[in-house]
Amino acid sequence: MFTSSSSPNLIGQSIFYQFKRRTIFPDDTYTYNLWKIKAGVVRTSTWLEDGSIVTLGVWGEGDLVGQALSKMNPYTIECFTEVEAINFSWQNEDHLTINLLSQIQQFEELSIIRSSKKLDIALIKFLTWLAKKFGRQIETGYLIDFKLTHQDLAEILGVTRVSVTRSLKQIEEQGIIERLSLSRILLREEELWYYEI
């Protein structure tokens, strides 16, 4: 069932749900159900026998997520920001092929990022990927304008939180990023092209 941190609304003929930051989407009860993200950022993940979280993807506006697109069990969808999403049956989705291609491409991109031998390079590549997908360009670079904790970054990259904290400090001292208030990150524009996948 939906928790108190999600609520349905009716706009025109579309019903969508609003979720607060850090809310876990309700389990899909139907094999063909998907969520279409209308606003916000979510992470899909599973976990290993030892409880370690494995990030499957990070998704935003226009993306489709749901158990029907994955063989992972358990499978969770967690809100990184406040989120608006529509729940529907994929059998009625006209653009399913495009979204499936997006799923495959993101998996490949994140696999390449996580394969970097040096954590600082993996972290910069991931921040570059985030800046391209979710960031907005400002005068001095690209702003990743939602809160990601060091633990979030560690889980996505498959490393320890302590390692992420150390690497963030190093790349900040090199002037590649600037950490702003509310855990936002500014990636310098001149660094973006070099670390693109």
**Does the structure show a pLDDT above 60 at 4?**
no
Cα distances (angstroms) measured from residue 103 to each of 47, 63, 164: 19, 9, 26
Instruction: Render pLDDT for 72-81 as a digit per residue (tens, 0 to 9).
Output: 889 999 999 9
**Does the structure show a pLDDT above 50 at 162?**
yes
Least confident of 59-68, 85-94, 167-176: 85-94
Say whether both 125 and 175 belong to one domain.
yes
pLDDT bracket for residue 2 (50, 70, 90): very low
| Residue 122 lies inside a defined structural domain of this protein | yes
Give the mean pLDDT of 123-150: 91
pLDDT bracket for residue 91 (50, 70, 90): low
| Residue 1 lies inside a defined structural domain of this protein | no
What's the pLDDT score for residue 73?
A: 86
Tokens 């069990």 sit on residue = 73
Say whether both 24 and 93 belong to one domain.
yes
What's the pLDDT score for residue 34?
A: 85
Q: Are 123 and 164 in contact (CB under 8 A)?
A: yes
- What residue numbers bound the domain in which 38 lies? 6-109
DSSP 183: G
